[in-house]
Amino acid sequence: MLLWFLRFYCLTNYSTLLQGRLAAEITKEELASCFNMPSEEAAKHLGIGLTVLKRLCRKFGVPRWPYRMRRSVERLIKNVEVGVRPELGASVASCVLPDNVCTATELTTK
């Protein structure tokens, strides 16, 4: 009888551990702190599944996971700072930018 109880108790607690967190516990700020990692890694970090992560994104108004776009923008900013235009291979030092261009921090926060 004791062996059955221990087995049942351990299996019940083990399945509870596998379930992870409740989606209602995760705030928008906590979700936003994971924008710098791929969606699969963010889901693991938050202790939820990928489907739940996507559901939370829809709930908080995030249409797409921003990781790849942020990396792309950061790479473009780095290339501009260095003075390389990857598509042309020319220096952008002589290029004049219009006044309404977003700054680097504005692009990474959007």
Provide the whole-model pTM: 0.54
Structure tokens at 9: 């108790």
- Residue pLDDT tens, the chain, 110 long: 655 555 656 555 544 444 567 878 899 999 999 999 999 999 999 999 999 999 999 999 999 999 999 999 999 999 988 887 656 554 444 444 444 445 445 545 55
C-alpha angle 3-8-9 in degrees, rounded to nearest 5: 100
Please report where in the chains the tokens 């261009």 appear, as a residue: 101
- Please report, for the chain, the start and end positions of each structural domain, with discontinuous segments joined by +: 22-65, 67-109
Please report where in the chains the tokens 């989606």 appear, as a residue: 23
